[in-house]
Amino acid sequence: WVKWILRLLTGKCELQRVLGGAEAGARRTLSILRNAVHVEEAEVDKCVRDVMEEKKIEQKDTGFRTKLRISLLQISGYKKLYLDVENLRKVPFDSENEEHEEQLIELWNLLMPHENLKARISKQWCDIGFQGDDPKTDFRGMGLLGLVNLVYFSRHYTNEARQILSRSNHPKLGYSYAIVGINLTEMAYSLLKNGALKSHLYNMVSGLPQMEHFHQFYCYLVYEFDKFWFEEEPESIMHFNQYREKFHEKIKGLLLDCNVILTLQD
């Protein structure tokens, strides 16, 4: 429905008809159609009325009205979700921020329930896949978004997270769990930014997509990447970028399906 609405609002035939009409009327119609795909959530209902009036669709056609409204909410919601994700990515991890520190400790407790963290600065962080004794340095690229994603997966899919952490310690095929998790946050972020997640989110959410839906897609990436890595059996972690890109291409291919939904089920 979203793609149909977009064709209705911005298709070549429509623009030709608009531009071929009277100048004033053409400008009004073109403005309405353009605004429809850039409308803010608060203006959706008014935009629906304007589009239906301009397209001479009966206002009592509740079926069309409902579908148009949902489609416009999805379109505007996708843009807002990207801004929310981007804003979280821009927040640097701050060791002086109590909430940031609490989330970091929660990550440890979720993944390592039978081992106490002896100190905030500790080599123990390497046990869950960070590079050094202070994880804050690993969040520089993705900011707080990287940590929030790691915590979300560990909180909502605790058994799976612990299993994947265990597998990541494989003597031959092992990888750095937390570092790879942050890398997959970058992958999810880039796919959202370039619009590749539109079909997935439009199919998944009948209305406004929320931050949680982005986190759920991230969880799918973590789970599927672990399977992919062990199926591919790379010679060593030194080939990570090569296989990461191969996995990226696989996901982009799946997202080309207009009926796609990529998520884990609780």
Q: Are residues 57 and 23 in the same domain?
A: yes
Q: Are residues 31 and 127 in the same domain?
A: no
Counting Cβ atoms within 10 Å, is residue 20 exposed (0-12), middle (13-18) or buried (19+)? exposed
Q: How far apart are CA 63 and CA 48, in angstroms?
A: 12
Please tell me the least confidently modeled range out of 18-27, 79-88, 95-104, 132-141.
Answer: 18-27
Q: Establish if 264 belongs to a structural domain.
A: no
Can you tell me whether residue 115 is helix, strand or coil? coil
pLDDT in tens, 121-173: 999 999 999 999 999 999 999 999 999 999 999 999 999 999 999 999 999 99
Instruction: Tell me the per-residue pLDDT of 218-261, one tens digit each, with 9 for 90 and over.
Output: 999 999 999 999 999 999 999 999 999 999 999 999 999 999 99
Residue 262 in any domain: the answer is no
Same domain, 127 and 230: yes
Residues 136 and 200 in one domain: yes
Q: Give the pLDDT band (50/70/90) at residue 10.
A: very low
Domain final position from 22, 56, 87: 87
My answer on whether 48 and 77 are in the same domain is yes
For 31-50, what is each residue's pLDDT tens digit? 655 666 666 767 777 877 77
Mean pLDDT of the chain: 87
Q: Report CA dihedral (70, 76, 78, 84) to the nearest 10 degrees.
A: -130
261 located within any domain: no
Q: Domain range spanning residue 83?
A: 1-87
Q: Are residues 2 and 106 in the same domain?
A: no
Inter-helix orientation angle 143-156/158-167, to 10°? 110
Q: Which of 87, 108, 125 is the C-terminal boundary of a domain?
A: 87
Q: Tell me if residue 161 falls in helix, strand or coil.
A: helix
Distances (CA, A) of 207 to 41, 71, 109: 10, 7, 35
Residue 56 lies in a domain: yes
On the question of pLDDT at 20 being above 90, the answer is no
Same-domain status, 105 and 162: yes
Domain assignment of residue 80, yes or no: yes
Whether residue 242 sits in one domain with residue 147 = yes
More confident residue, 23 or 18: 23
Domains of the chain: total: 2
User: Is the pLDDT confidence value at 176 over 60?
Assistant: yes
Please indicate, yes or no, whether residues 226 and 156 belong to a single structural domain of this protein.
yes
Which residue among 87, 116, 150 closes a domain?
A: 87
Question: Is there a single domain that holds both residue 62 and residue 148?
Answer: no
Does 32 fall in a domain?
Answer: yes
Residue 148's pLDDT is 98
pTM: 0.84
- Give the count of alpha carbons within 13 A of 209, CB side only: 30
Q: Does residue 110 share a domain with residue 81? A: no
C-alpha span between 218 and 175 (Å, rounded): 18
Q: Is residue 68 part of a domain?
A: yes
Same domain? 140 vs 251: yes
pLDDT over threshold 90, residue 85: yes
Residue 25 belongs to a domain: yes
